[in-house]
Each structure stands twice: as structure tokens, then as C-alpha cells.
Amino acid sequence: MTVLTLGLNHTTAAVDLRGRFAFAVDQLAPALKTLHAQLRGGAQSEAALLSTCNRTELYIATG
């Protein structure tokens, strides 16, 4: 199993950069569906996306 994490927050990125990576509530489900479709390469995969005013984090597990 491979676990990947990618994120930015108020200590690692300026507010303008965080704003470009922020997801509105109505964008989360479509973004995860698109990501999950791209991850399907015959392997099991899971993904979680966390987006608040101060951080955006993506967690992916494959394998």
C-alpha cells in the first residue's frame, strides 16, 4: 500500500496561494470523483480532501 499526502497551510503558503487551492463545499464531491476516476488503474484506491480557510490537504491511499 502507498499512502500519499499533500497539503499547504497558513505556515507554509501565503494567503493568495491558499486561496487558489481552496475548495468550496460544492466543489469537494466533484473533485474527489474526478480524482478517484484518475486513480483507478486496476488498484484499490481511496482519497480524502480537507479544505478550510487556513489549509488544504489531500490524502491518497493506493494498493
Report pLDDT digits (tens) over 46-59.
889 999 989 999 99
CATH class label, 2-62: alpha beta
Q: For position 18, what pLDDT does the model report?
A: 95
28, 30, 53, 54: the active-site residue: 53
Mean pLDDT of the chain: 90
Neighbours of 18 (CB within 10 A): 19
**Residue 58 appears among annotated catalytic residues:** no
Neighbours of 58 (CB within 10 A): 19
